[in-house]
């Protein structure tokens, strides 16, 4: 078979190519904000489910999806052994399958369950359809997230790809809320009633087109004779061996100190963002007593996240991720405290002040979302010097697993806490003191998580300079260099990033050779 298909043909990486790659995150960023910011409000304020049941739908589905993602990452890593993988690409094949499934299930989610099955089936319907949608989203995002590592080893070019991705993600976030805000602001009663359905149709068309462009504009590591030989040397495992090795591989990622810190920062900051997005509509409508379209109007200011993302792309190169983390998290902390002050000071006509606070939050959120996934493409390089393996898919799967697990728990816990605090979604007014408790939850829950992420980020050492040193050492060793000739700087950087003595790095046997020996035991 001649591997001359576009999926194996490298092309020039420029801003245009970066935008084409990043278009998938129009769905990625938009979907995550729909999950954390829209679905809970839709299920409680529109469908009428109680908050605990609404939280359970996203919680249960994401637990199943998180388990699926753990298995799926390794499947994509090894899928090039199959004829389908060789022909269509180990990553791109699954992106296309996921795209088709997503187009169907995501649209179905916004169709009222009562119009299909009648009353009494809301919970099961939304749980099943939402779970399927999550699985298809994972099928798209996990292979797509590995593509910068597949497409280039250059830090600046990867930054072009990842930076463009996060710019598009911020655009997706803004479009999601902007579309819903417009539809809910229309004077027609029929339009308001079907606002979520109309928004779902527009979102589906927008996301599907974006993903397909990204799918056709990217490529994978070419299947050279050397690469095929490397892949063929990997052992074929039984189902039991496969599960055992998969769990072992995922556990081994935590031996990577840079990844452990990166994951901690990522999970705590994004979970804090989830709490904010989940609780904001309830805070604005129930606590502040404002109209139902105001949360989406405020969230539409996510467009400011695009501006901060543009700035972050440059600051990532000049100042590094640690600076961006501090800038983002401190801004969010200030915004959260300001929300609490506006509520507890009983500010009259607070919309203008809330807009200013929200703009600060959205500027900071844009950087929060930009930075971790801009760092991620360099994490597998730290593993490379530890294991001599190619496990980008494994790392992407672990990140996705924990992101979806904690995201699920955030929404679920938020729903349970709201019910425990006495919130009744169908009630015209809440019991005395309930709104104060909801406001405190809205401020304190994300605040604590963001503070933890901030503190850990101060110890993070992977940046452009340290990666260049690490990559130089990897290149030297791959060219047959002797470990005894390592420079003091390379030794120090390798040890700081991996968390292991240099003597334990770059083992005599490659990751594939170790796996082959284990399969013979």
Tens-digit pLDDT profile for residues 428-456:
788 889 999 999 999 999 999 999 999 99
**What's residue 242's pLDDT?**
64
- Residues contacting residue 455 through CB under 8 Å, at least 6 positions apart: none
Contact call for residues 431 and 295 (beta carbons, < 8 A): no
**What's residue 3's pLDDT?**
46
Band (pLDDT 50/70/90 cuts) for residue 417 is: very high
How many Cα atoms sit within 13 Å of 342 on the Cβ side?
24
**What's residue 232's pLDDT?**
67
**What's residue 118's pLDDT?**
56
Band (pLDDT 50/70/90 cuts) for residue 513 is: low
- Residues contacting residue 491 through CB under 8 Å, at least 6 positions apart: 502
Position 4 pLDDT exceeds 50: no
Q: What secondary structure letter does DSSP report for 42?
A: I
**What's residue 81's pLDDT?**
72
Its pTM surpasses 0.75: yes
Position 519 pLDDT exceeds 60: no
Question: In terms of pLDDT, which residue wins out, 516 or 173?
Answer: 173
Q: What phi and psi values does residue 473 have, to the nearest 5 degrees?
A: -70, -40
Contact call for residues 425 and 44 (beta carbons, < 8 A): yes
Scanning 79-194, the segments in alpha helix (DSSP H) are 83-88, 92-109, 114-117, 122-145, 147-151, 155-185, 189-193
Q: Which of 360, 359, 371 is nearest to 315 (CA)?
A: 371
Contact call for residues 267 and 403 (beta carbons, < 8 A): yes
Angle between helices 122-145 and 392-420 (to 10 degrees): 150
**What's residue 214's pLDDT?**
92
Q: Which of 350, 100, 89, 320 is nearest to 221 (CA)?
A: 89
Band (pLDDT 50/70/90 cuts) for residue 510 is: low
Each domain of the chain, given as residue ranges in start order, spans 9-472
Distances (CA, A) of 450 to 4, 27, 140, 202, 270: 47, 25, 28, 33, 8
pLDDT tens, 104-140?
999 999 988 766 655 667 889 999 999 999 999 989 9
Band (pLDDT 50/70/90 cuts) for residue 209 is: very high
Position 243 pLDDT exceeds 70: no
Average pLDDT over residues 484-509: 92
Contact call for residues 111 and 47 (beta carbons, < 8 A): no
Average pLDDT over residues 245-269: 90
Residues shown for the chain = 521
Distances (CA, A) of 382 to 66, 199, 350, 507, 508: 24, 42, 48, 13, 17
Q: Which of 402, 466, 166, 148 is nearest to 265 (CA)?
A: 402
Position 521 pLDDT exceeds 60: no
Alpha carbon distance 391, 218 (integer Å) = 19
- Residues contacting residue 211 through CB under 8 Å, at least 6 positions apart: 23, 24, 26, 27, 95, 99, 102, 140
Question: In terms of pLDDT, which residue wins out, 234 or 83?
Answer: 83
Q: What secondary structure letter does DSSP report for 482?
A: -
**What's residue 174's pLDDT?**
78
**What's domain 9-472's superfamily in CATH?**
MFS general substrate transporter like domains (1.20.1250.20)
């Amino acid at each position: 078979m001649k591997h001359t298909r576009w999926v194996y043909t490298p092309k020039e990486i420029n801003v245009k190519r970066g935008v084409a790659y990043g278009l998938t995150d129009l769905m990625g960023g938009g979907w995550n904000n729909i999950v954390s910011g829209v679905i809970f409000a839709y299920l409680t304020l529109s469908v009428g489910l109680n908050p605990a049941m609404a939280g359970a739908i996203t919680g249960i589905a994401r637990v199943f999806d998180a388990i699926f993602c753990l298995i799926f990452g390794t499947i994509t890593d090894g899928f090039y052994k199959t004829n389908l993988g060789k022909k269509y690409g180990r990553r791109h094949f699954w992106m296309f399958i996921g795209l088709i499934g997503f187009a169907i299930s995501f649209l179905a989610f916004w169709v009222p369950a009562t119009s299909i099955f009648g009353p009494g089936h809301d919970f099961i319907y939304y749980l099943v359809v939402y779970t399927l949608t999550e699985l298809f989203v994972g099928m798209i995002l996990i292979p797509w997230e590995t593509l910068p590592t597949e497409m280039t080893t250059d830090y600046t070019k990867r930054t072009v790809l990842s930076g463009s991705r996060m710019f598009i993600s911020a655009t997706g976030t803004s479009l999601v809320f902007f579309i819903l805000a417009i539809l809910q602001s229309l004077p027609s009663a029929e339009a308001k009633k079907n606002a979520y359905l109309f928004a779902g149709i527009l979102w589906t068309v927008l996301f599907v087109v974006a993903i397909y462009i990204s799918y056709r504009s990217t490529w994978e590591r070419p299947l050279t004779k050397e690469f095929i030989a490397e892949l063929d040397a990997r052992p074929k495992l039984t189902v039991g061996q496969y599960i055992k090795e998969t769990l072992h591989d995922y556990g081994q990622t935590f031996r990577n100190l840079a990844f452990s810190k990166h994951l901690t920062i990522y999970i705590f900051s994004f979970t804090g963002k989830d709490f904010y997005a989940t609780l904001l509509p309830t805070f604005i409508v129930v606590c502040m007593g404002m109209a139902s379209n105001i949360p989406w109007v405020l969230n539409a200011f996510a467009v400011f996240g695009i501006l901060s993302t543009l700035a972050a792309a440059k600051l990532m190169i000049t100042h590094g991720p640690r600076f961006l983390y501090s800038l983002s998290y401190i801004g969010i902390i200030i915004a959260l405290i300001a929300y609490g002050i506006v509520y507890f000071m009983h500010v009259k006509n607070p919309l203008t002040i809330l807009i200013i606070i929200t703009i600060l939050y959205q500027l900071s959120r844009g950087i929060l979302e930009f930075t971790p996934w801009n760092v991620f493409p360099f994490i597998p390089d730290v593993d490379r010097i530890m294991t001599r393996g190619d496990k980008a898919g494994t790392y992407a799967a672990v990140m996705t697993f924990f992101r979806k697990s904690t995201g699920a728990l955030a929404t679920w816990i938020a729903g349970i806490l709201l019910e425990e605090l006495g919130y009744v979604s169908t009630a015209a007014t809440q019991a005395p003191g309930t709104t104060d408790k909801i406001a405190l939850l809205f401020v304190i829950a994300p605040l604590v998580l963001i503070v933890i992420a901030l503190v850990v980020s101060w110890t993070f050492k992977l940046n452009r300079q340290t990666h260049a040193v690490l990559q130089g050492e990897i290149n030297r060793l791959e060219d047959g260099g002797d470990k005894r000739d390592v420079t003091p700087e390379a030794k120090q950087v390798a040890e700081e990033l991996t968390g292991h003595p240099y003597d334990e790095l770059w083992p005599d046997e490659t990751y594939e050779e170790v796996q082959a020996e284990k399969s013979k035991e």
